[in-house]
Chains A and B, each alone.
Chain A
Amino acid sequence: MQSFGGAVMALYRGFATTLQFAFQKKPTVQYPSVRKQHAPRFHGLHELRRYADGKERCIGCELCAIACPANAITVIGAENAPDDRRSPGERFAGRYEIDELRCIFCGLCEEACPTDAIVLTPRFEMADYRRGSFIYSKDRLLVPPDAGVGAPPDERPGGIPADLGWVTEQKSTVDIARGYDATYNGAKLKDEHKGLTLQ
């Protein structure tokens, strides 16, 4: 049985916590006019990348498709024509499709990829009215040749860059200037690991 004084103290502590957060910076924002930054390794929509010379990184090896636990990826290889080389080597992805409704955004495709072609971007807004529009094929996954994407993400300063090309450009939520303090833990991480943000 708790004493009366103990109950008052508990009330006081509870309200004090509430009051303390009332004067702190709010983690909620007025989405979509205000957007938050993601964790550095957030797994969002996929993107197929290119080498600096404009050639596709993807060689159509289907390792992502076999690594995918949700069976969301379909790749059908094709042979490079001698006068129209799409990728280094002999093979490229004739068809590359990801069913984003089926995808669980685990990132195993990214890990399986021998050429760092498929990466997961921080973009997450994929809402649409039709199921069919969630099947992303090469026309939406592949960055445009002039996007200037060269090195793989691990080799870039600051992790996943903003120059992720057409897909990201279309509906980007990445605000480099604000860094990755979108969540409470993200803000703490930012404090603890300085230099992690892109600033």
Chain B
Amino acid sequence: MTEAGPPQSVSLTIDGTPVTVPAGTLVVEAAKTVDTDVPVYCYHPKLGPAGLCRICLVEIERLPKLQIACNTPVAEGMVVHTHGQKVEDGRRAVMEFLLLNHPLDCPICDKGGECDLQDFSMAYGQGASRLADAKASKPKALDLGPTIVLDDERCIVCQRCTRFDDIITRERSLVVKDRGQRDVIATASGEPYRSNFSGNVTELCPVGALTSKTYRFKSRPWDNHRTATTCTQCSVGCQLFVDERYGTIARTMSVPSDDAISDGWLCDRGRYNIGFYADARRITAPLLRRGEQYVQIGWDDAVEAWAAGLRDALGAAGPQAVGVLGGGRLLNEEIVLLVALMQELGVTNLDWRAGRQRQATPGRYAGTYAELEAAQLILAVGRPPSQTAPVLDLRIRKAVSQRGARYVTYGGHAAGSFVGVTPLRSADDVENVLSGVERVAVVWDGIDLELGARLASAIDGWVARGVSVTTYLSGEANNARGAEALGMVPRSGGLPFTGMLDAAQNGRLRSLSIFGANPVLHHPLGGASVANALERIPFLVVSELFLTETAQRAHLILPARTGFEKAGHVINLAGDVLPVHQAHAAPPGTLADGDMLVALAAELAAEVPGPEDVLARATAALPAATHGFGDAAYSEGVTASKSDGMAAGKPGGGGLRIAVGSDIFAGGGTIWFDETLAELRPDPAATLSPATAARLDVHIGDRLDLLSSSGDDSLQGLVVRIDAGAPDDVVAVIDGLPEAPANSFADGDNVVLGARRAADALEPALVLP
């Protein structure tokens, strides 16, 4: 090569202002540096240029025709005019074409008021159409899927939605079907558009063609009172705009500038699971148990009863007889208060682990999202991040599709990642894919501690070889990392939650307070045994939004507030301390857990830190971890409990094994009590491979029960699904469904078929006349 490489930066003039930008920059991006307004429809910084809409015309000197700014790279000495008579004439002509068939239904359009087409019509439109004939009439309110409505008349075919589905999610289900005037956005298969990220297309759509079903006609953009906060659904910690109107949350929107965490996208759980706060089943007054009934009491009485129960337990059997579970769904401030109060009372039985997740701190190699994106090899161990941390998975897809990373999974199933995935057969195979790799990112679900410990020692070996490793822990509870960092873990000699349940069985635990956790549905000991143990506790207090399986066992139910209704901080899985702002007025009668704790401390005359102290501790930077996966300083107590069913069963001989997966729309709390999302919730299903289904003689649509080897029969009425890609002799079920809780089953457990009903033996849904 004799030629010099391309210059690193290019100097050009835009609207008379000289600018210097990196070589290869597009004119439309360069124009942003001089604060001029180049209109765009099809161009989006994260989707790249497409050159479809032609609205971004600019004049470049010495070029005879107007050029599109979105697909023209800058060149040395280029002189660009983004405004002027010629440019505006060109844009007016483009607008006239775009508006030819666009209906004038802005008053009923959900986009009206925040619509690019509306804005640019005001700027460049000519006010009247010269079209003599009637506008094309196309279907309106087309049902594109469970979340999205398509108005085909409004579509200007900018293809942002299809390119999002192609470039960002890699799911490639949306296409432009047909051509010319008959083109329509549809799925290639004709199936409903289902994606965990479908809501993003409504934000990308520059017109009102794609709109959200949950926001349909609820509000106009100018009505909304917007609050920037952090999504509290999962541990990714996406930044979020909450739009409130007249005391109802109208919608949530992504924060496009949030490159560090969400990359500007939201998953559908975070976007659409907003209806629960107003559900009629929400508890809005403290409830005290009287036999088989609950009576409504005031907060003063509730706190008094709570304090009396704690005092009784402490007085009768000492701090060892008192336990606290929760923290994974609390804010940092609340965790600080809870830990301080329990320390004051001498209580050491603290734990946040109400579900399968055992660990939340990714250890000494904890990485940032940017490091994950830059990794050459991404190893996901355990449950796929696509279901536990969806937006993190979007970043994995970006790393694979745009930055050439390799994605390898181990232990999980149904990765659902839509990028090339290499599943590892055995743990030793990972050494084969490591050759020549310098940057590795490891995502673990934090469930199987034994696996985590093996992983940690392997990582130490890779680091010793000079490989740069970053680790991530995508767990279940959104603030699990905060709970762990702020001390919501068994303290010196204290029991973990499994130990507390043991103590409860033996009558040694006199009081348990649970904050925002549902162990009956999620704890791997299984609903029956957890419920059995909880019922033996003389005084069980549950702070909850709804009457969950766990709350039903409580003696005192305290109505809590949602993440939209309180303010504080959380720590996401990457260790960022993120603010949560109150976006919505809480229903009267509810209290934030922190306020409950302050009231309880006052009633008990216990000293708790003041507000400044709490805030300082809640927002303090995380200390650097010294441990790795699987050997957190407090995990000893948990290892002992593995004997009672936590350890993954070994693959059985010729029998049927169970694979317990997760789904972002599965759960017994906010998603179960959100009526608007009924269509998104997964059915309790048993997915089998065709060969296994044939061997067991079950067919699609049959209902079957699964029994564990110990006779647990909580999995009942599963709908049989057949998946050609499923492994043989494995039945896959979804964890966390209240209709069929799978929490007593561990991955790989042997199961036997229980009762089954063939599809034709079910009640007929339709009878021909």
A-to-B contact residues, CB < 8 Å: 59-63, 66, 74, 76-79, 89-91, 94, 114-115
Q: Which 6 A-B pairs have the closest CB atoms?
A: A61-B107, A77-B217, A91-B108, A114-B107, A91-B217, A62-B220
Q: Given that A59-B108, A61-B112, A63-B107 are known contacts, is A79 also in contact with B216, CB under 8 Å in the complex?
A: yes
In the bound complex, how far is the Cα of B245 from the Cα of A74, in angstroms?
A: 11
Q: Chain A contacts of B112 at CB under 8 A?
A: 61
Of all chain B residues, the one with the shortest Cβ separation from A59 is: B108
Q: Chain A contacts of B108 at CB under 8 A?
A: 59-61, 77, 89-91
Q: Given that A90-B141, A91-B217 are known contacts, is A66 also in contact with B107, CB under 8 Å in the complex?
A: no
Is B246's beta carbon under 8 Å from chain A? yes
- Cβ B140 vs Cβ A77 within 8 A: no
Q: Given that A76-B246, A90-B140, A90-B141 are known contacts, is A60 also in contact with B105, CB under 8 Å in the complex?
A: no
Of all chain B residues, the one with the shortest Cβ separation from A88 is: B108
A-B contact pairs, 17 of them (CB 8 A): A61-B107, A61-B108, A61-B112, A61-B220, A62-B220, A63-B107, A66-B222, A74-B246, A77-B217, A77-B218, A77-B219, A79-B216, A89-B105, A89-B108, A90-B108, A90-B217, A94-B217
Is B223's beta carbon under 8 Å from chain A? yes
Distance (Å) between the CB of B178 and the closest chain A CB? 23
Residue in A59, A76, A94 whose Cβ sees the most chain B Cβ within 10 Å? A76
- B210-242 CB mask vs A (1 if < 8 Å, else 0) is 000000111110110000000000000000000
Seed contacts A62-B220, A66-B220, A114-B107; 18 additional CB < 8 Å A-B pairs: A59-B108, A60-B108, A60-B217, A61-B108, A61-B112, A62-B223, A63-B107, A77-B108, A79-B216, A79-B217, A89-B105, A90-B140, A90-B141, A90-B217, A91-B108, A91-B217, A94-B217, A115-B107
In the bound complex, how far is the Cα of B219 from the Cα of A61, in angstroms?
A: 9
In the bound complex, how far is the Cα of B222 from the Cα of A61, in angstroms?
A: 12
Of all chain A residues, the one with the shortest Cβ separation from B141 is: A90
Q: Chain A contacts of B105 at CB under 8 A?
A: 89
- B73-105 CB mask vs A (1 if < 8 Å, else 0) is 000000000000000000000000000000001
Of all chain B residues, the one with the shortest Cβ separation from A94 is: B217
In the bound complex, how far is the Cα of B211 from the Cα of A79, in angstroms?
A: 13
Q: Chain A contacts of B216 at CB under 8 A?
A: 79
In the bound complex, how far is the Cα of B625 from the Cα of A148, in angstroms?
A: 77
In the bound complex, how far is the Cα of B59 from the Cα of A106, in angstroms?
A: 46
Q: Chain A contacts of B140 at CB under 8 A?
A: 90
Enumerate B102-130 residues with CB–CB distance to A below 8 Å: 105, 107-108, 112
Of all chain A residues, the one with the shortest Cβ separation from B151 is: A90
Of all chain B residues, the one with the shortest Cβ separation from A60 is: B217
- Cβ A78 vs Cβ B217 within 8 A: yes
Q: Chain A contacts of B222 at CB under 8 A?
A: 66
Distance (Å) between the CB of A131 and the closest chain B CB? 19
Q: Chain B contacts of A59 at CB under 8 A?
A: 107-108
In the bound complex, how far is the Cα of B217 from the Cα of A79, in angstroms?
A: 7
Of all chain A residues, the one with the shortest Cβ separation from B222 is: A66
In the bound complex, how far is the Cα of B105 from the Cα of A79, in angstroms?
A: 14
Distance (Å) between the CB of B90 and the closest chain A CB? 30
In the bound complex, how far is the Cα of B219 from the Cα of A78, in angstroms?
A: 9
In the bound complex, how far is the Cα of B216 from the Cα of A78, in angstroms?
A: 8
- Cβ A76 vs Cβ B107 within 8 A: no
Q: Chain A contacts of B223 at CB under 8 A?
A: 62
Q: Chain B contacts of A90 at CB under 8 A?
A: 108, 140-141, 217
